[in-house]
Structure 1
């Protein structure tokens, strides 16, 4: 006996016995003890069936699905099948395997199947009963072959995009693979509605709806403070090798964690052991000596399939279009899932990431009047001794228990430790025409951060007033310990921007300490905890009311020593019982469309800042309003959305330059800032037509300062470097007929102009609108091997991906580049 999963329940089936056809033409049958109930014939499972003869593939699929099918072996003699990879119902799985054979699996009243010749009308083959169910997607995206998903988990439990009254984009495994998106910043650059901004220290900042995402990250649904006050901005060098998908929510995400910003949140969902064995090997090589190798293997580790494993190893070595910049990444991941009982599963995982780089940071300066130096895109104004070494270890664990048919419990935790040793210098200072030199700013960092996170909730359904409702009740907590020593100092040398010197001497660590303009040891501890609950109340068959709330407790203590002055500072903030509500209303207009509206709140503590009277500042608070319509077609294989949004953020801390307080900058602060962002979004994802997968999103964002301590700013744009118009689009089409082994992908990242006003000179530095086109050609060599060529910035557009000031921070976008990938699946 062996076990297979079906519709979340264990089903048992007798091992397969296939009788070969005899020369006398006797009827041969493949049968199972447990036929598939009619209501389960469309339930979705994940399959990875290798290609082979049609007889073998049918038998392996029937065995994995726990299905019973009867046929004469002579019907399949001479036919082959490429196998089946992805998530399918039983009927759809049979239909895909039998495609092109002229056969169909006809379901019987008792739950079994019989193999028959498919009816033919004229010259066209009709699938008949085999195609009664379209492919239904689940939450897991790998092997689905889709750019959309059947369910998301960022809001606890599993709900479809159409059932979620907020804007969520899912970057699926196929999307990540098709575009070679191997880091979190590459993923966010291709996500609709997201703007990416380069940090001078090598990381990336992410913006949504005009506001910066800060610390709003989940791992398998567990919130952490990573990205909040993180030395490498928001991107923290995360590799995508061991993730199944990334779920990105836009708008206030107070139900996720409590304290945070109004921009949104990101949930990383890792790969798990599957029910069938598989191994995938990927080798890639491309422009600027960019090489990557990855091995991904897993499957059942015992005969019953109750113990499943997963292992991923990836290594990448690359240079850049920028002179003398290089980086090497190593990623190791292992995971185990064990069924402690038919209703209880325990999962554990361990990931280790290592980055060893010689970066070019700081970007490029400009002339004093803000005009472009028009340097070559390959120009790096950093010395060759720049170093960045980052190590990160993450431990995952979760326990899922099905209490009964309607109620389930999930408890999950994450621990991660990151250490970073950084030493670098870059050109800093506006350039005077005819002088052509600028100063050199250097920094050193010795940084350690440890994060803990825990999340536990029960999710269930109950009946009331003749309708079914859903309730989620949970608790989560996180703790972040940061131990940082840094120092920033100007070097005595100057850099010629038109003839850079790579051999500026590397100073000793003592030089940075003795000549520090800012820096010192910083130790901080941030703690959060909260209880939350969400009720999905069915008011009528087409009308659902969603209401929830979270009560949060927050504390943060930071001790800083300023080595330049020898002074120290202790900053503390605490919020108790802060309530962040959420409400939404969904109205099903028909079987495909749902109209919705929602309201959400968020808060950001600012108690570490003081007003002139000595009191602490109130938290920054934000409210998000959303009104839209969502659609789902072809059993959820195609999703669409359109919404209007407005976000109000107020009580922002602002510096009172007419005051004096004992703080690091010597000034007091006031709760004075109030800003607004509004606009609309449109998105479509999934199978638009047969064999075409598409993700396309357009966002219009307008930001405005409503109230500022500097009244001259009232009415001006709040965030000018978030473009008004942003388009993200990528599609992949598999050809048919004699060209069915080929696939063609194409896409564009386009935006309108953006600008930044220099804080030093009030000059407006701008980048005009641009479009960057990318493409892909894939070829399936056989059932195991495939090859693909990706090209980025095909028309070699020259532009600044990030605009800075006259001093530094201007970053060119990547020139035209290519990558060839060879993949084997077993």
Structure 2
């Protein structure tokens, strides 16, 4: 990866004011000097260096900055390697040689600049040769990069930089995950620009982007699965971040990902792989509310030639919460091997096992009957202590990469996942009379026995070809996914009542047979989803600054649901199915390079989401949800990709979404109804804005509106009022210099405007005023091996609701002030 001298970077000033910050996120890269000049006159002079042992990329970055040189590196040479560090006075040549000791690399001087080449004794095993003078910028692997941005994303097919991608993508890099202690998918999405997180009363969280819910749009190493599309617990299935290199989040229509794509976007989890050099990391952490976590992450070559590489991760965490009763234990185990079948072909395998054992507290807080806040203590839990949740998940990964020739390559990848959940819980449902000192609130109990298997396969050929004096790119592929959910559930009112103002955690636990015999809803549920499709994307260079990206996917989709709906012990069988054949999802984008750093773009995507599992009042299946998504913006890339920024305008039109039919007496019927619009703009900046300062900041303005509805009274109102109009997320990490160079300081905040939910019972708007939550981090490097960090969240102890529900339930407090102390060893 290329490293630019620190003397060429100018300071980026940020204003907390929303208006100023929004403009600055767009224009700030234009204010930063982009030129990099080598300083050859000083290369033979000696300078004092104090660079700790660590990942090679980080050490080289620090050295290039301190030595004021331009160093170009092919990221394939340095990924996963370690440097012994550098302490003392050295010339540039001697310092580089010391930093590279034991890596199999050596410095190569090219004029007044520097590059790396493979030592002759190691060239054959690395299969790369000494041809890496001109680097291609940062790669897609973020582990060890020390960066909040990436050189390439893989959520689409192939690898393309953020600037070359005509849609909005945020990459939560390994450094970002580590710095903010983001260990779950919920925590990641809560810190991702443009994403709104909404608590489900049944546990888990829903994710929203650009006003719409993200449903089942998940990829693993680029393979799409239907996980989350019909999940028992919202979209936040168990998925620990310990095994992933990065999380790529696409905002906007994601139909090209797997055909039956949603309106909101998609998420791609990219796992850690075997390493070329041995490396082990141990970490221990302890925090508020008895939150303890231990992790071992080790990897390296498994044979002398380095053609077989392994990786193993083991994590255990136990924790309580800021509210009573609840606790949770997690175990995560992951192993992976990558085997070079030849100099060109690599085969990878991986397996992950996750085990969650918890006593949850779900349902949230009720309110007074008039919608006013009860102002209960944040430590309040209204659930009984016998609540339990047990979730186990096993995931298998496999992929094969093989270049067909110098221009074309084949990639085949597959993922299989099985998740089982056993749950029993109860929470009160009902408002509290105004002025009362106690309540007699109904308690709903639920039981779940859940088993879901998902698997997917994706294969594509990616290559370049020359035509009309320009080089173009073509991707042709096919993928398929299967999902089978076998579920039994029952929801019933318990005989006891709960005093919300003085809760009893020892309500009697019913026998399992009680639920079905007294169910208000429930029964066995069997859902099978099959889909497959073929796709192609072309990137045609129409002229030197102009690229046309267009493609499409032809999809076949089938789902079938068998169920028996029980009401007080009496079951009614039901079957629904839907088939969509040859559904075409087009995509088109245009990229115009304005100069070496700026690219303007426009894109269009169709939306297609089957809804055949829902029935109309006459028993027919619903038509698919359809729509169109438009995006117009400008992206910039600076310092060979170490800094990226973007500004985009978006508009999405969605039609025929499922709504409850008001003419259906029992509320079980749906109808295709209405038309809604979401529009707004986004601004984001990620990466190294000045020397030693990493930043991820994003502002999103979202406006949603109902254009047509079955109920004329809804025309013109907000379509999704709990997605805030204004959302701002900022996190920065700075490495100090001079006498305090062992310290790093991180700080950031999440800010949003007010949001609300209209109660379906009273019609009142249950609202949460806008708020800002400040977080911070202090890191200290003890020596070349050990480091400490202290993270603090909600530093000013803001009292707020992360989610507003109704008068009866679903109001969730945000976490009070809390801290986490971590110790880490790298060797």
Bin of the TM-score, shorter chain as denominator length: 0.7 to 0.9
Kept in 2: contact 1:194–1:207 (CA 8 A): yes
Partner of 1:413: 414
Cα deviation, residue 568, structure 1: 0.9
Partner of 2:40: none
Kindly tell me: are residues 447 and 207 of structure 1, through their superposed partners in 2, closer, same or farther at Cα, counting changes over 3 Å? same
C-alpha distance in structure 1 between counterparts of 2:488 and 2:319, whole Å = 29
Partner of 1:576: 581
Kept in 1: contact 2:661–2:667 (CA 8 A): no
* Structure 1 segment 659-678 matched on structure 2, within 5 A: 665=667, 667=669, 669-678=670-679
Alignment coverage as a number of residue pairs: 733
Partner of 2:193: 192
Kept in 1: contact 2:622–2:671 (CA 8 A): yes
Please tell me whether residue 42 in structure 1 is matched to residue 42 in structure 2: no
Cα deviation, residue 404, structure 1: 1.1
C-alpha distance in structure 2 between counterparts of 1:610 and 1:44, whole Å = 53
Partner of 2:501: 498
C-alpha distance in structure 2 between counterparts of 1:112 and 1:390, whole Å = 50
Partner of 2:397: 396
* Structure 1 segment 41-120 matched on structure 2, within 5 A: 42-45=73-76, 46-51=79-84, 58=97, 61=100, 64-67=103-106, 91=115
Cα deviation, residue 654, structure 1: 2.6
Q: Deviations over 1:481-509 (max 9, x none)?
A: 00000000111111111211011011110
Partner of 1:26: none
Cα deviation, residue 53, structure 1: 6.6
Partner of 2:237: 236
Kindly tell me: are residues 793 and 342 of structure 1, through their superposed partners in 2, closer, same or farther at Cα, counting changes over 3 Å? same
Partner of 1:365: 366
Partner of 1:180: 181
Structure 1 residue aligned with 2:490, among 471, 487, 491?
487
Partner of 2:614: 609
Partner of 2:518: 515
Partner of 1:636: 641
TM-score, normalization by structure 1? 0.86
Cα deviation, residue 63, structure 1: 5.7
C-alpha distance in structure 1 between counterparts of 2:524 and 2:505, whole Å = 30
Partner of 1:536: 539
The answer for unaligned runs of 5 or more in structure 1 is: 1-38, 71-88, 95-109, 114-131
C-alpha distance in structure 2 between counterparts of 1:788 and 1:376, whole Å = 30
Partner of 1:559: 562
C-alpha distance in structure 1 between counterparts of 2:620 and 2:180, whole Å = 51
* SS of residue matched to 1:174: helix
* SS of residue matched to 1:797: coil
Structure 2 residue aligned with 1:647, among 634, 649, 652?
652
C-alpha distance in structure 2 between counterparts of 1:260 and 1:515, whole Å = 38
* Structure 1 segment 628-777 matched on structure 2, within 5 A: 628-658=633-663, 665=667, 667=669, 669-777=670-778
Partner of 2:209: 208
C-alpha distance in structure 2 between counterparts of 1:438 and 1:374, whole Å = 17
Q: Deviations over 1:99-134 (max 9, x none)?
A: xxxxxxxxxxx9799xxxxxxxxxxxxxxxxxx989
Partner of 1:432: 433
* SS of residue matched to 1:241: helix
Kept in 2: contact 1:364–1:808 (CA 8 A): yes
Highest Rg: 1 or 2?
Answer: 1
* Structure 1 segment 238-277 matched on structure 2, within 5 A: 238-277=239-278
Cα deviation, residue 90, structure 1: 7.1
* SS of residue matched to 1:342: coil
Please tell me whether residue 794 in structure 1 is matched to residue 795 in structure 2: yes
C-alpha distance in structure 1 between counterparts of 2:613 and 2:503, whole Å = 42
Kindly tell me: are residues 176 and 759 of structure 1, through their superposed partners in 2, closer, same or farther at Cα, counting changes over 3 Å? same
Q: Deviations over 1:241-267 (max 9, x none)?
A: 000000000000000011131000000
Cα deviation, residue 136, structure 1: 3.3
Please tell me whether residue 626 in structure 1 is matched to residue 657 in structure 2: no
Cα deviation, residue 271, structure 1: 0.1
* SS of residue matched to 1:328: strand
Partner of 1:385: 386
Partner of 1:590: 595
Cα deviation, residue 432, structure 1: 1.1
Partner of 2:779: 778
Kept in 2: contact 1:201–1:362 (CA 8 A): yes
Stretch moving more, 51-60 or 172-181: 51-60
Kept in 1: contact 2:399–2:411 (CA 8 A): yes
C-alpha distance in structure 1 between counterparts of 2:374 and 2:815, whole Å = 18
C-alpha distance in structure 2 between counterparts of 1:758 and 1:231, whole Å = 23
Cα deviation, residue 57, structure 1: 8.2
* SS of residue matched to 1:67: strand
Cα deviation, residue 655, structure 1: 3.1
C-alpha distance in structure 2 between counterparts of 1:809 and 1:465, whole Å = 60
* SS of residue matched to 1:231: coil
Partner of 1:4: none
Kept in 2: contact 1:62–1:69 (CA 8 A): no
* SS of residue matched to 1:517: strand
Stretch moving more, 175-184 or 432-441: 432-441
Kindly tell me: are residues 545 and 40 of structure 1, through their superposed partners in 2, closer, same or farther at Cα, counting changes over 3 Å? farther
Cα deviation, residue 399, structure 1: 0.4
* Structure 1 segment 265-414 matched on structure 2, within 5 A: 265-414=266-415
Kindly tell me: are residues 409 and 692 of structure 1, through their superposed partners in 2, closer, same or farther at Cα, counting changes over 3 Å? same
Q: Deviations over 1:32-73 (max 9, x none)?
A: xxxxxxx99632231432426778983682663543679xxx
Structure 1 residue aligned with 2:549, among 528, 536, 546?
546
Kept in 2: contact 1:480–1:526 (CA 8 A): yes
Q: Deviations over 1:762-788 (max 9, x none)?
A: 111000000000000000111111000
Kept in 2: contact 1:69–1:112 (CA 8 A): no
C-alpha distance in structure 2 between counterparts of 1:53 and 1:199, whole Å = 51
TM-score, normalization by structure 2? 0.86
Q: Deviations over 1:10-53 (max 9, x none)?
A: xxxxxxxxxxxxxxxxxxxxxxxxxxxxx996322314324267
Cα deviation, residue 368, structure 1: 0.6
C-alpha distance in structure 1 between counterparts of 2:468 and 2:715, whole Å = 51
Cα deviation, residue 656, structure 1: 3.0
Kept in 2: contact 1:545–1:585 (CA 8 A): yes
Kindly tell me: are residues 383 and 615 of structure 1, through their superposed partners in 2, closer, same or farther at Cα, counting changes over 3 Å? closer
* SS of residue matched to 2:687: strand
* SS of residue matched to 1:716: coil
C-alpha distance in structure 1 between counterparts of 2:712 and 2:817, whole Å = 45
Q: Deviations over 1:390-413 (max 9, x none)?
A: 000000000000111111100000
Kindly tell me: are residues 476 and 69 of structure 1, through their superposed partners in 2, closer, same or farther at Cα, counting changes over 3 Å? closer
Cα deviation, residue 820, structure 1: 0.3
Kindly tell me: are residues 134 and 694 of structure 1, through their superposed partners in 2, closer, same or farther at Cα, counting changes over 3 Å? farther
* SS of residue matched to 1:64: coil
Kept in 1: contact 2:106–2:117 (CA 8 A): no
C-alpha distance in structure 2 between counterparts of 1:251 and 1:410, whole Å = 26
Q: Deviations over 1:334-379 (max 9, x none)?
A: 0000000011000000000000001111101011111100000000
Cα deviation, residue 480, structure 1: 0.4
Please tell me whether residue 217 in structure 1 is matched to residue 250 in structure 2: no
C-alpha distance in structure 2 between counterparts of 1:213 and 1:229, whole Å = 12
